[in-house]
Structure 1
Amino acid sequence: MITVHYFAGIREMTGTHKEDFDCAGVTVGQLKERLIQKYPQMQGNSLQFAVNEEYALQTDILSEGDAVALIPPVSGG
């Protein structure tokens, strides 16, 4: 299982702060596609993904037990 953690506006879209997916062996990009299918309102958002507290590329492969965080765009001032 992979645990996906949601923050800020993404948490509001999903209605939860985390959920588990059975998707070990898929890429971060493939997980993103699954999430967009489940939550179409994520489409078009500039999401960053972190796997085990490190920024991840869309081509990175997920492993059993990974923790994935979806990080929404952040603006500063």
Structure 2
Amino acid sequence: MIKVLLFAANRESIGKEQVEVEKSNISVSDLKKVLESEYPGSSFQHAMAAINESFVPDDEIVKTRDTVAFIPPVSGG
């Protein structure tokens, strides 16, 4: 099981701070696709990913018991 932490628009559209996904040994990119199919209206394509508090590329493999955070793009002024 993978714990996924949600922020900003995805937290609002899904209505939860975190969800659990019954997958393992999948890429971050595939995890994004799984989440978008399970939660219509969510968008993870431009979000940065962190596994266990370390930023990773989309081809990184997520394992059982990992915690993944998807950080949406932010802008400032």
Would you call these one fold, judging by a TM-score over 0.5? yes
**Residues in 2 aligned to 1:29 and 1:8: alpha-carbon distance in whole angstroms:** 19
1:40 maps to what in 2? 40
Specify the alignment match of 2:28 in structure 1.
28
The residue number in structure 2 matching 1:63 is 63
Higher strand share: 2
Identical amino acids, percent of aligned pairs: 36
The size of the alignment, in residue pairs, is: 77
Question: Over aligned residue pairs, what C-alpha RMSD do you find?
Answer: 1.5
Q: Which contiguous aligned blocks of 4+ residues in structure 1 show a shift greater than 4 angstroms? A: none
Task: Summarize deviations over 1:15-73 as a string: whole Å, max 9, x none.
Answer: 10001111111111110110111223234752111111111211111111100001111
| CA–CA distance in structure 1, aligned partners of residues 70 and 24 of structure 2 | 17
Q: Check the 8 A contact 2:51/2:66 in 1, yes or no.
A: yes
Tell me the TM-score normalised to structure 1 length: 0.88
